[in-house]
Amino acid sequence: MEYIIIAVVIAVALIGAAAGLVVTGRRRKELPPPPAAPPQVGAPTAEPSGQPSAEPSAEPGPVVQAEPGPVAGPPPLDVPEPTAGRLVRLRSRLSRSQNSMGKGLLALLSRDHLDEDTWEEIEEVLLVADVGVAPTQELVERLRARVKVLGTRSPDELRTLLREELTTLVDPTMDRTLHTARHEDEQPPRPAVVLVVGVNGVGKTTTSGKLARVLVADGRTVLLGAADTFRAAAADQLQTWGERVGARTVRGPEGGDPASVAFDAVKQGIAEGADTVLVDTAGRLHTKTGLMDELGKVKRVVEKHGPVDEVLLVLDATTGQNGLVQAKVFAEVVDITGIVLTKLDGTAKGGIVVAVQRQLGVPVKLIGLGEGADDLAPFDPAAFVDALIG
């Protein structure tokens, strides 16, 4: 009897142990996965894309009390693409202008009989591409004269002819140097100062960010001035661009005085020994002061430190004649030293390069060919015309 009782107790104990294992096993499966590693302070949230965003990428989550651990270093800096050859790399972005202007002109010039109607069509192609009336007439006159002399016209001859005449129109003799080198000869040495001006929406802040990358790629140390105080997001945007290449941004309060931010930026640039101070100015204002008065003031105030080296006017190539009107107004207030034509990738009106240079007598120095971080190219007439005629 005793044996039976002992056997029953052992059996019950064994069954109980087995059941326990099963339950534990089930519980294990039901447990949530182990917590992920705590987020690292300062770690980049995503691969930087062409357009840095100042907006947070997600809703803020619960506050995580991270264990004290090794301090995360700053995110690695971008290495911007070299500036030489950028236009050649981006030539396909001019395909709209290439198709309607370059190919259109070549097709018309290849006709067996170049009668009056054909010359009128050639004129129309140039006008539609925003080349402007006077430059169009000049080009057509020269083409007519040279085609007459040429006699037979092979496709290669026509291409060469058109390349030469368009290049003359774009004017390779203009000095397109960006003056961004520090003034070592002055006491104390002073950074070059570049003002970026233009109305809102033309791509001014984006261009300032891209230009900082151009300068860094060319070996300059850059300090940014966020004098567009209308939108805090504009200053955030500029700062994000700068951080990616190690350029600090001097900012003021939202709605603050743009001239004072610009002045401070240059002052700090002198103190830090920067090569170039790049100031993004306002395209809109909080105050009732006219934009142009304010811009004149920014320039005057900055010039207390010394002359401004570059005033770059940013124009949106897709706005055509409107852009030309803006250009004229800006030129009356500040001496524009160079033009940046943005969004040339989004238009068939590549001829605006010619029109705007003629209007202001100022060279196009840079062109925007996309939203990518390095889609801003130094303007090179020969490479531009080559891209247009394929």
The residues of the shown chain that bind ligand GTP, judged by CB under 6 A, are: 51, 200-206, 228, 231, 234, 283, 342-343, 345-346, 368-371, 375
Q: Which is nearer to ligand GTP, 83 or 136 (CB)?
A: 83
Residue 252 CB, shortest distance to ligand GTP, in Å, is: 15
Residue 342 CB, shortest distance to ligand GTP, in Å, is: 4
State both tokens at 372.
């990518």
Angle separating helix axes 321-333 and 352-360, nearest 10 degrees: 30
CA–chain centroid gap for 384, Å, is 18
Output phi, psi for 285, to 5 deg: -130, 155
Residue 235 CB, shortest distance to ligand GTP, in Å, is: 10
Would you say 285 and 326 are in contact if contact means Cβ atoms under 8 Å apart? no
Residue 332 CB, shortest distance to ligand GTP, in Å, is: 20
Q: Which is nearer to ligand GTP, 269 or 370 (CB)?
A: 370
Residue 254 CB, shortest distance to ligand GTP, in Å, is: 13
Q: Which is nearer to ligand GTP, 182 or 213 (CB)?
A: 213
Q: What distance in Å separates the CA atoms of residue 104 and residue 106, rounded to the nearest whole number?
A: 6
Residue 228 CB, shortest distance to ligand GTP, in Å, is: 6
- The 8-class DSSP code of residue 223 comes to E
Q: Which is nearer to ligand GTP, 130 or 345 (CB)?
A: 345
Q: Identify any residues that bridge with 77 across adjacent strands, giving them in sequence order.
A: none
Q: Which is nearer to ligand GTP, 318 or 337 (CB)?
A: 318
Closest C-alpha to 274, from 292, 248, 297: 248
State both tokens at 111.
């006709």
State both tokens at 146.
């040279």
- The 8-class DSSP code of residue 219 comes to T
Cβ neighbours of residue 243 under 8 Å, at least 6 residues apart? Answer: 249
Residue 76 CB, shortest distance to ligand GTP, in Å, is: 24
DSSP element (H, E) containing 11: helix 2-30
Q: Which is nearer to ligand GTP, 136 or 342 (CB)?
A: 342
Residue 207 CB, shortest distance to ligand GTP, in Å, is: 6
Q: Which is nearer to ligand GTP, 139 or 369 (CB)?
A: 369
Q: What distance in Å separates the CA atoms of residue 378 and residue 146, rounded to the nearest whole number?
A: 31
Q: What is the DSSP code string of 138-190? A: HHHHHHHHHHHHH-S--HHHHHHHHHHHHHHHH-TTS--------BTTSSS-B
Which 3 state secondary structure label does DSSP give 276? strand
Residue nearest to ligand GTP (CB): 368
Q: Which is nearer to ligand GTP, 140 or 285 (CB)?
A: 285
Which 3 state secondary structure label does DSSP give 226? strand
Q: Which is nearer to ligand GTP, 127 or 292 (CB)?
A: 292
| Angle of CA points 255, 257, 259, to nearest 5° | 140
Residue 385 CB, shortest distance to ligand GTP, in Å, is: 19
